[in-house]
Amino acid sequence: MQFRNLPSVDSVLANHDVAAAAKSFDREWVVGLVREALETAREQIRQGGDSPDPGRVAESVCQRIEDTMRAEPRPVINATGVVIHTNLGRAPLSRAAIEAANQAAQGYSNLELDLTTGRRGSRQAQLQSILRQITGAEAALAVNNNASAMLLGLTALAAGKEVVVSRSEAVEIGGGFRVPDVLRQSGATLVDVGTTNRTYVRDYDEAVTGNTAAFLKVHASNFRVEGFTASVDTSDLVEVGRRRGIPVLHDVGSGSFLLTEKYGMAHEPTPQESIKDGAGLVFFSGDKLLGGPQAGIVVGKKDLVDLLARHPLARAVRIDKLSLASLTATLVHYLRGEAEREIPVWRMISTPEAKLKKRAKSWQAGLECPASVEKSRSAVGGGSLPGETLPSWVLSVDCQETGVEEVMRRLRDCNPPVIARIEDDRVLLDPRTVLPEEDGPMLDALRSAVAQ
């Protein structure tokens, strides 16, 4: 009986809103959405549900159209306290980086034109010059992400040959990205040495054969091994490589140009240090502690970087013009010595506790529900500085009447959505990762979410 009551395609299409959509968009697409909605209704009937009327089906079709037309990804307010939040797009960009990308998008540009000669030029000339100045490297190259950078490097230098890696560094970095898999994809053969917790210089030296192309060192950026451990410093590995004629490739991960210990955290290896130690190639990300757009950056010896730049794979993974413009603008902040002030990631990391407490208290004053300001910790996140946190102050909201999950859901339903965190059955909002201009929209969302 319920199946007989199911509305027809034509009856749903006759709905005023659906009919208007069919005129505004591709009609066949709208008809397909109606058929899909009716099939969903049939499945609900099979599971014991009632047959929907044409209005309900039309409403679901219109909602589907609205969801499809909405721009994605959507801006959200990050109140989690996790500075480099992978699920929320990692590093927010500086105003200069946003403006640079905007300008590159608005019209034509001299992407591959030398304005001095009027002839074809390199899209990376300025970027490479800045990277050389910051890191001290002989040459530089940017691609679309760090996984691509490493794949390009291994393919160009080690396809059909062996790459020696410490067993403790044959890691999974995230999202299923595993160093052994990348080596396999590049055509290189992994030769792992040492043990899970201890590797020595002699392990690399003894593994060298006539087919060894490189030593690969990988910074364990998202976990920490403590206790009875031993690893080989980059400078010591470079010495072995120099003696045996083998380059050292070093993936430092997060791309921090600033010394993290200045902010009370453990030391994160920098590209500058690796170059100074003599590494042949250094790989790192653009959208982690560097604070720019998604990119993979390679700096190092000119002869090695040139091999990567000439490899056919380089074109497949090259950086696009918007990311290039944004990354260049981000790097300029480091040249000017203004990274801590202009790059959001470093502005958040360097914000003093007193300022965070003051903002949290101002949030509390704007609410009419039980809430308190409490001492807490913020995480750096993004596969950087594992286990390291920063002292912070948070707004803790009592949600006993509404329930924490319901409040979190309501926050996500706001425009813009607010992403908070739950601890001890309370909703916590950390001002460290909320941009000052977002305070008003965040408070509006919070008031709405806790309203009865």
- What CA–CA distance (Å, rounded) separates 376 from 52? 49
> Which of helix, strand or coil describes residue 159?
coil
Angle at CA of residue 394, ends 391 and 398, nearest 5°: 145
Confidence check: pLDDT of 222 > 60: no
Confidence check: pLDDT of 384 > 80: no
Pick the CATH number of 95-342 from 3.40.640.10, 3.30.530.20, 3.40.250.10, 3.40.50.410: 3.40.640.10
Per-residue confidence at 385, pLDDT binned at 50, 70, 90?
confident
**What percentage of residues in the chain have a pLDDT greater than 90?**
74
DSSP per-residue string spanning 233-265: -HHHHHHHHHHHT--EEEEEES---S-GGGGTS
**More confident call, 152 vs 255:** 152
Among 119-123, 160-164, 426-430, which is the least confidently predicted range? Answer: 119-123
- Average the pLDDT over 357-361 and give the result: 96
Cβ 356 vs Cβ 393: under 8 Å? yes
Rg value, the chain, Cα: 27
Among 92-101, 222-231, 440-449, which is the least confidently predicted range? Answer: 222-231
pLDDT at residue 445, as a whole number: 95
Helices (H) and strands (E) in the chain, counts: 19, 18
Condensed to tens digits (0 to 9), the pLDDT of residues 77-89 reads 999 999 999 999 9
- What CA–CA distance (Å, rounded) separates 62 from 344? 38
Per-residue confidence at 127, pLDDT binned at 50, 70, 90?
very high
Most confident of 216-230, 312-326, 362-376: 312-326
Condensed to tens digits (0 to 9), the pLDDT of residues 6-36 reads 888 999 999 999 999 999 999 999 999 999 9
Per-residue confidence at 173, pLDDT binned at 50, 70, 90?
low
Mean pLDDT of all residues in the chain? 92
Pick the CATH number of 77-86+346-450 from 1.20.1740.10, 3.40.640.10, 3.40.50.300, 3.90.1150.180: 3.90.1150.180
- Average the pLDDT over 165-181 and give the result: 77
Cβ 88 vs Cβ 419: under 8 Å? yes
- What CA–CA distance (Å, rounded) separates 434 from 430? 7
pLDDT at residue 223, as a whole number: 60
pLDDT at residue 340, as a whole number: 96
What φ, ψ does residue 188 adopt, rounded to 5°? -90, 160
Q: Where are the domains of the chain?
A: 9-65, 77-86+346-450, 95-342
pLDDT at residue 370, as a whole number: 87
Confidence check: pLDDT of 313 > 80: yes
Confidence check: pLDDT of 226 > 90: no
- Average the pLDDT over 130-158 and give the result: 96
**More confident call, 340 vs 230:** 340
Per-residue confidence at 108, pLDDT binned at 50, 70, 90?
very high
- Average the pLDDT over 39-51 and give the result: 86
Which of 301, 390, 330, 449 shows the shortest CA–CA distance to 83?
390
